């Protein structure tokens, strides 16, 4: 995908977009797609550094953004549960760039544990990251959009597991957290529509991340979906879930 071949409504040229959980995995893959569509992208992740060395995917994408795409990928360190730091980063980005056009809230964790063995501490950790963290990230971004009197688009990364229970996969906290994200999306879409802020979710099916041996290079659907939801191509879409699961939930 190159900007010269994009339909104009899919262009993100001159837009500023934040991706939480953007140092690796699905967040980084989507960040690269946004860069290719013309956006300036700021990634937020809890890691002290986005990668161990400059031969990593993050740094290669960052270098490509400057060299080939005439845009920029910037890293900011913060846990999405650190409300003060998160708001400070969002305010700094918006104050410097004078705009904030979009957010992909991709930060999340999972504990694959049977319900009988799941601890309350594990449940709290998953819910505080996947639900509270997603909410305060969106809240911080929306505050800047409202302050700047600017329309925007927010995309939560949910999961097909928020709609169905995956046979053979015991992850009650994760499943519950993603169901909560789906309803959070609808609530925020209804409340923030008055400000011109759209809120949607993207629900992947089974995907392979770097933790599972690869970097999603064979999953272009998630790249295109990110550009679609953050661009004017989806301008009449809010409070909706875009599920990309290969038909898994149809059975």
Q: How confident is the model at residue 6, as a pLDDT?
A: 66
Indicate if the pLDDT at residue 246 is higher than 90. no
* For residues 66-85, average pLDDT: 97
Q: Contact at 8 Å (CB) between 56 and 71?
A: no
Q: How confident is the model at residue 209 (pLDDT cuts 50, 70, 90)?
A: very low
* 3-class secondary structure, 212: helix
Q: Contact at 8 Å (CB) between 220 and 170?
A: no
Q: How confident is the model at residue 1, as a pLDDT?
A: 46
Q: How confident is the model at residue 55, as a pLDDT?
A: 62
- Encoded tokens for 34: 């946004």
Q: How confident is the model at residue 216, as a pLDDT?
A: 42
* For residues 79-93, average pLDDT: 97
Q: How confident is the model at residue 164, as a pLDDT?
A: 85
- The alpha-carbon radius of gyration of the chain (Å, integer) is 17
Q: How confident is the model at residue 165, as a pLDDT?
A: 84
- Whole-model pTM? 0.91
Q: What is the tens place of the pLDDT at every residue in 95-137?
A: 999 999 999 999 999 888 899 999 999 999 999 999 999 999 9
Q: How confident is the model at residue 53, as a pLDDT?
A: 66
The domain spans of the chain are: 3-250
**222, β-bridge pairs:** none
More confident site: 110 or 213: 110
C-beta neighbour count of 242 within 10 angstroms: 18
Q: How confident is the model at residue 192, as a pLDDT?
A: 99
Tallying the residues shown for the chain, one arrives at 251
**Helical pair 57-67 and 25-36, crossing angle rounded to 10 deg:** 10
Q: Choose which CATH entry (3.40.50.720, 3.90.1300.10, 1.25.40.10, 3.30.930.10) describes domain 3-250.
A: 3.40.50.720
Q: What is the tens place of the pLDDT at every residue in 216-228?
A: 445 667 899 999 9
Q: What is the tens place of the pLDDT at every residue in 151-202?
A: 999 999 999 888 888 777 888 999 999 999 999 999 999 999 999 999 999 9
Q: How confident is the model at residue 191, as a pLDDT?
A: 99
Phi-psi region of 237 (alpha: psi -120 to 50; beta: other; left: phi over 0): beta
Which residues are annotated as catalytic?
Answer: 174, 178
Mean pLDDT of the chain: 90
CA-wise closest residue to 131 among 185, 205, 169: 185
């Amino acid at each position: 995908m190159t900007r010269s071949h994009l339909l104009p409504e899919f262009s993100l040229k001159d837009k500023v977009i934040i991706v939480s959980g953007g140092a690796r995995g699905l967040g980084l893959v989507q960040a690269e797609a946004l860069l290719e569509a013309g956006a300036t992208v700021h990634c937020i992740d809890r890691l002290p550094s986005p990668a161990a060395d400059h031969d990593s995917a993050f740094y290669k994408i960052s270098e490509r953004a400057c060299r080939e795409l005439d845009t920029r990928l910037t890293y900011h360190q913060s846990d999405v549960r650190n409300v003060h730091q998160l708001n400070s980063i969002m305010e700094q980005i918006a104050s410097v760039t004078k705009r904030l056009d979009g957010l992909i809230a991709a930060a999340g964790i999972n504990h694959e544990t049977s319900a009988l063995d799941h601890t309350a501490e594990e449940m709290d950790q998953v819910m505080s990251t996947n639900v509270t963290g997603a909410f305060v990230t969106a809240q911080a971004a929306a505050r800047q959009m409202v302050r700047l009197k600017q329309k925007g688009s927010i995309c939560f990364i949910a999961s097909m597991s928020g709609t169905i229970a995956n046979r053979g996969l015991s992850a009650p906290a994760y499943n519950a957290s993603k169901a909560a994200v789906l309803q959070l999306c609808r609530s925020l879409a209804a409340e923030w529509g008055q400000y011109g802020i759209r809120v949607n979710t993207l629900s992947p099916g089974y995907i392979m991340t770097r933790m599972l041996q690869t970097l999603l290079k064979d999953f272009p659907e998630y790249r295109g979906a990110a550009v679609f939801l953050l661009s004017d191509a989806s301008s009449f879409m809010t409070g909706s879930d875009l599920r990309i699961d290969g038909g898994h939930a149809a059975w």
